[in-house]
Every structure is written in structure tokens, then in C-alpha cells.
């Protein structure tokens, strides 16, 4: 009988995609995926370490795995991803029941481990660039992630990622276009390009003696027959140049949505975060986006309570949120991460209660502005890519608009279809509507 595996994934889309690659690789060496850990011969965790909460959630999961190992000593337990990388060999002393640990760059080493003679505890933590030839097991039929670079060359003082994913390396242009063509031939209609800093893509490449621009990659992917939607995440505001913004106006498949992480609205705090842009420069990028693509959805990430953030600094964050009117925002309490320079700061630390109080004020502004922004969709017919039944009401359908909004609607559509939906109401989070049956009849 086939060996069976179970993977639990934490963290970002990059990690979810790494898990797809792990699963594809495991299936290629004869393993089959199962839904329950109790049925698996190999229990894997693909971990995240972006904030303290991510760590603690995962450690609780490891407790279950340890119990499973006591019950069935032959089971193999593996930890991959950013947390594993950030604690490296300590994994084995802290968690002696772990058999294999590997960083995000070492997914391919898992096969080597599993097919080797000796299955004694092993750790794999080198940075080797992209192991591109792993077959991915896609979570969704018509949507795919494509990793365009590994690592990050930025030095944001709060962020653990440069130390867990290494220096930035762009994958070759031709290899990426070929991968997207293969996906299109396999029925994929929406591609999300992934990188820690996607719009720095290609600076380290030389094609015909010159670097490649991210916007050129966007053009090449847009030109592929069958690819109807292109997204990317995450860009860095400092690299958000006019060519990329214009591409949103010019390329039919490039969606009207940009996730542009602000992090803080005060230039002083941005400097302490080493974000390399100011409040004005960020607002100027937003103005340029709105000039070329007036209807573009803009979403963001914001950190509250960075060391040294005063009430006045925080008010600047609120002001930027009021002024921009983000379509949505992920908001985080600052969390000191091992090995980062921000974790060493000792002055102006913001007490937890104050962070929480600021967060509440921030969420109020973000939700109110998001709600107001979403009203522009009411009464419009939006193109929706159907993902499945609605999470709250299985008689309805759920999909996503080009703006990245979740749309719950009534209709006849099947998952994977692109349909037109009349929007009837909108909250800051979701749109509600009904499928346009006239459009269906005419299609
Ligand atoms: N504390 C809080 N939030 C963080 N992020 C990254 N590092 C930290 C940290 N140490 C947030 C940033 C980033 C998002 C993915 O997570 O906002 O954009
Ligand atoms: Fe993704 Fe960052 Fe978490 Fe790593 S630490 S999985 S890059 S969110």
C-alpha cells in the first residue's frame, strides 16, 4: 500500500504554494495525501514565524503530533518553513520527536530524506535558490500560484523573512513564461505571481545583456492565451514605478487590485522600520495609481505599536488611512522577532494595552473607509471567478471579483467559471449579488 502523508500549512501564500510543491513531490515518490493526521505515515507542518502568534499556534499543533508519535512510534514527523529555519537545529533538542526539519529553500530535500537509507533526525537549512522542477499539486483547478523569486534583499527592521528565506534571486524569465504556458494549457485561468518583493523582479537577471523589468514579465504572462486574470503579491511601495502601474491600465488580464503595504503613516516610524519611503512618497504612489487606474482597489498591511511610535505618529497612520481610503487592510500588533533589529529596541516601547487601544481605533477607520469604498460596486455588474459554495450559506455561491473582493451570490454557475454578477449590496468585507442570467443566456 502507498505511504500516506498529511500536511498542515501556516502563514502566507508563499507557504501555501510551498506546500503544493511538497505535496506534488511526495506524490511523485509514491505517497498519497490523507485528510487526517491519524491515518498518515508522514505528518508534516509547513510553518510560519512572522509574528509570535504564528509560533505559538504551531507549537500547540506539535503537541498533538508528539502524542501521535507516542501512539505510533513508526510515524515520521517533519517541520518545514520559516519557523523551522529560524530555530534550525534547536528543533531537535526542543522537540525530540521531530524526524526531519527543513527551511523554505529545502522543500526538495524532503524527498532525499524519505528515500535515504537512514531515517535518523536530519535538518536541511541551506539557501540554494529555487528548486524549480518540483511538480506542484494545485489546491484549485483554475487558479495557480507561480513563484517568481525567492528571498528578500530588503532590510525591514521588524521582519524575520530575510533571515528565513535568504537573499533575493529571480527565476529566469523564460522558465516563468514556460511555467505559465503549461498552467494555461492545463486549464488555469488565474495566475498569482508570488515573491517577497515582486516588483524588484529581474534586476539580478541579464537577458540580452540587460536586466528584466517586472512589467515585462506582466506583459508576457498577459499575452498567454487562456490566462484571463493575473495578480501579484507583494510589491514594495518604493519599487512601484509607473511602468507597473500603467500595465494595470493596459493589460486586459492584469486585475484592478494592488496590495501596497503601508506599515506606518509616519515618516519617522517608516525610517525606523527601514522602509525606504516616506508618507508623502507612499501617497504619491497612490495618486499615480488612481490617475492611471481610477477604479483600482488598493489594500494594505499596517503594523501598530512599533517601538517609538507615539500618539502623534499613530495619528498619522490614521490620517493616511482616511486620506487613501483603502479597500481593505490587514492590521497587526508589532511583535518582536528573534534576530531582527527592531526586537533589540528598548526605547519608547508601546505597552500592550496601548497597542490594543490603537488597533481598535485603526480598525474603525479601516472598516468605515472600506465600507464606503465598497459602495461604488453596488448596482454594477462585476466579473466573478467562481470558487465554490458560499461559506455561510451553501445554497449560494462564492467567488472573487477582479478587485479581489469576495462575492457571495445566487446563480447557476459552476466552480471555475467566470460569470457576470449584479451587485446588490456591499460591506467592507464582502459583496452580495445575483448572477446575471441575461449574460449567461447570451454567452
Ligand atoms: N510584527 C507585526 N507585524 C509584522 N509583519 C511582519 N513582521 C511583523 C512583526 N514583527 C506584518 C507586515 C507584513 C505582513 C505580512 O506582516 O505588515 O506586511
Ligand atoms: Fe510567509 Fe513570512 Fe510566514 Fe515565512 S514568515 S511563511 S514568508 S508570512
Tens digits of residue pLDDT in 167-206? 999 999 999 999 999 999 999 999 999 999 999 999 999 8
pLDDT for res 238: 96
Model pLDDT, residue 60: 86
pLDDT attached to residue 130? 73
Average pLDDT over residues 103-132: 82
| Residue 126 pLDDT level (bands cut at 50, 70, 90) | confident
Neighbours of 393 (CB within 10 A): 11
Assign 128 a pLDDT band (cuts: 50, 70, 90). confident
Domains of the chain: 3-124 (3.40.50.12160), 131-374 (3.80.30.20), 378-442 (2.40.50.140)
Q: What is the pLDDT of residue 123?
A: 87
- Whether the CB of 306 sits within 6 Å of ligand 1: no
| pLDDT exceeds cutoff 80 at 125 | yes
164 CB near ligand 1 (under 6 Å): no
218 touches ligand 2 (CB under 6 Å): no
User: Is residue 284's pLDDT more than 90?
Assistant: yes
CA dihedral 195, 199, 204, 208 (to 10 degrees): 120
Cα 369 to middle of ligand 2, angstroms = 28
- Predicted confidence (pLDDT) per residue in 400-424, tens digit: 999 999 999 999 999 999 999 999 9
Residue nearest to atom 7 of ligand 1 (CA): 159
Mean pLDDT of all residues in 24-47: 95
Which residue is closest in CA terms to ligand 2's atom 7?
161
By mean pLDDT, which of 20-29, 242-251, 375-384 is the weakest? Answer: 20-29
State whether the beta carbon of 161 lies less than 6 angstroms from ligand 2: yes
**Are 306 and 272 within 8 A, CB to CB?**
yes
Distance 161 CA to ligand 2 centre (A): 6
What is the Å distance from ligand 2's center to 11 Cα?
A: 5
pLDDT score, position 132: 63
Verify whether ligand 2 is closer than 6 Å to residue 48 (CB atom). Answer: yes
**Confidence (pLDDT) at 24:** 94
In the prediction, which pLDDT does 58 show?
A: 86
Rounded mean pLDDT, 140-147: 95
Q: Looking at the DSSP assignment, which residues form a beta bridge with residue 304?
A: 333
Range name among 132-136, 188-192, 383-387, 423-427 with the lowest pLDDT average: 132-136
Ligand minimally distant from the alpha carbon of residue 165: 2
The arithmetic mean of pLDDT across residues 231-254, rounded, is: 97
Mean pLDDT of 53-59: 85
State yes or no: pLDDT of 1 exceeds 70: no
Q: Residue whose CA is closest, atom 1 of ligand 2?
A: 12
- pLDDT value, residue 261: 98
Residue 118 vs residue 248, higher pLDDT: 248
Q: Calculate how far, in angstroms, residue 340's C-alpha sits from the geometric centre of ligand 2.
A: 14
Paired with 77 in beta bridges are: 43
Ligand nearest to the CA of 338: 1
Which segment of 51-65, 90-104, 215-229 scores lowest on mean pLDDT?
A: 51-65
Q: 3-state secondary structure string, the chain?
A: CCEEEEEEECCCHHHHHHHHHHHHHHHHCCEEECCCHHHCCEEEEEECCCCHHHHHHHHHHHHHHHHHHHHCCCCEEEEEEHHHHHHCCHHHHHCCCCCEEECHHHCCHHHHHHHCCCCCCEEECCCCCCCCCCCCCCCCCCEEEEECEECCCCCCCCCCHHHHHCCCEECCHHHHHHHHHHHHHCCCCEEEEECCCHHHCCCCCCECCECCCHHHHHHHHHCCCCCCEEEEECCCHHHCCHHHHHHHHHCCCECCEEECCCECCCHHHHHHCCCCCCHHHHHHHHHHHHHHCCCCEEEEEEEECCCCCCHHHHHHHHHHHHHHCCCEEEEEECCCCCCCHHHHCCCCCCCHHHHHHHHHHHHHHHHHHHHHHHHHHCCCEEEEEEEEECCCCCCCEEEEECCCCEEEEECCCCCCCEEEEEEEEECCCEEEEEECHHHHHHC
Nearest-CA residue for ligand 2 atom 3 is 48
**Ligand 2 touching residue 302 (CB < 6 A):** no
Which pLDDT belongs to residue 127? Answer: 82
pLDDT tens profile 205-228: 988 889 999 999 999 999 999 999
Mean of per-residue pLDDT scores for the chain: 94
Amino acid at each position: 500500500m502507498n505511504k500516506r502523508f498529511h500536511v498542515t500549512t501556516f502563514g502566507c501564500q508563499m507557504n501555501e504554494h510551498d506546500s503544493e510543491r511538497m505535496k506534488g513531490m511526495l506524490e511523485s515518490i509514491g505517497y498519497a495525501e490523507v485528510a487526517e493526521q491519524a491515518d498518515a505515515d508522514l505528518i508534516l507542518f509547513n510553518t510560519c514565524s512572522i509574528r509570535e502568534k504564528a509560533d505559538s499556534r504551531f507549537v500547540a499543533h506539535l503537541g498533538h503530533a508528539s502524542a501521535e508519535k507516542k501512539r505510533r512510534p513508526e510515524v515520521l514527523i517533519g517541520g518545514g518553513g520559516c519557523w523551522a529555519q529560524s530555530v534550525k537545529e534547536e528543533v531537535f533538542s526542543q522537540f525530540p520527536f521531530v524526524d526531519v526539519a527543513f527551511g523554505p529553500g529545502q522543500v526538495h530535500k524532503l524527498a532525499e530524506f524519505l528515500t535515504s537509507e537512514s531515517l535518523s533526525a536530519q535538518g536541511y537549512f541551506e539557501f540554494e535558490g529555487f528548486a524549480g522542477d518540483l511538480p506542484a499539486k494545485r489546491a484549485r483547478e483554475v487558479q495557480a500560484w507561480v513563484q517568481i523569486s525567492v528571498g528578500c534583499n530588503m532590510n525591514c527592521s521588524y521582519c524575520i523573512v530575510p533571515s528565513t528565506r535568504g537573499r533575493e534571486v529571480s527565476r529566469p524569465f523564460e522558465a516563468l513564461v514556460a511555467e505559465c504556458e503549461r498552467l494555461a494549457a492545463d486549464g488555469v485561468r488565474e495566475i498569482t505571481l508570488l515573491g517577497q518583493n515582486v516588483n524588484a523582479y529581474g534586476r539580478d537577471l541579464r537577458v540580452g545583456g540587460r536586466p528584466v523589468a517586472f512589467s515585462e514579465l506582466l506583459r508576457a504572462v498577459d499575452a498567454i492565451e487562456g490566462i484571463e486574470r493575473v495578480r501579484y503579491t507583494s510589491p514594495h511601495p518604493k519599487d512601484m514605478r509607473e511602468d507597473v502601474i500603467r500595465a494595470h491600465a493596459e493589460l486586459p488580464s492584469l486585475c484592478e487590485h494592488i496590495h501596497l503595504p503601508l506599515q506606518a503613516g509616519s515618516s519617522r516610524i517608516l525610517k525606523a522600520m527601514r522602509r525606504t519611503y516616506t508618507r508623502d512618497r507612499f501617497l504619491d504612489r497612490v495618486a499615480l495609481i488612481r490617475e492611471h487606474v481610477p477604479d483600482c482597489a488598493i489594500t494594505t498591511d499596517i503594523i501598530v505599536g512599533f517601538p517609538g511610535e507615539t500618539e502623534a505618529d499613530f495619528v498619522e497612520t490614521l490620517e493616511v488611512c482616511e486620506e487613501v481610503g483603502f479597500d481593505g487592510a490587514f492590521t497587526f500588533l508589532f511583535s518582536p522577532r528573534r534576530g531582527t533589529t527592531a526586537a533589540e529596541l528598548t526605547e519608547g516601547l508601546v505597552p500592550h494595552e496601548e497597542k490594543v487601544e490603537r488597533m481598535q481605533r485603526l480598525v474603525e477607520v479601516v472598516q468605515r473607509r472600506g465600507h464606503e469604498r465598497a459602495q461604488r460596486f453596488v448596482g454594477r455588474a462585476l466579473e466573478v471567478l467562481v470558487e465554490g459554495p458560499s461559506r455561510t450559506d451553501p445554497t449560494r455561491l462564492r467567488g472573487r471579483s477582479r478587485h479581489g473582493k469576495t462575492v457571495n451570490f445566487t446563480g447557476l454557475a459552476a466552480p471555475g467559471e467566470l460569470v457576470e454578477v449584479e451587485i446588490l449590496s456591499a460591506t467592507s468585507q464582502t459583496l452580495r449579488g445575483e448572477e446575471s442570467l441575461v449574460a449567461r443566456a447570451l454567452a
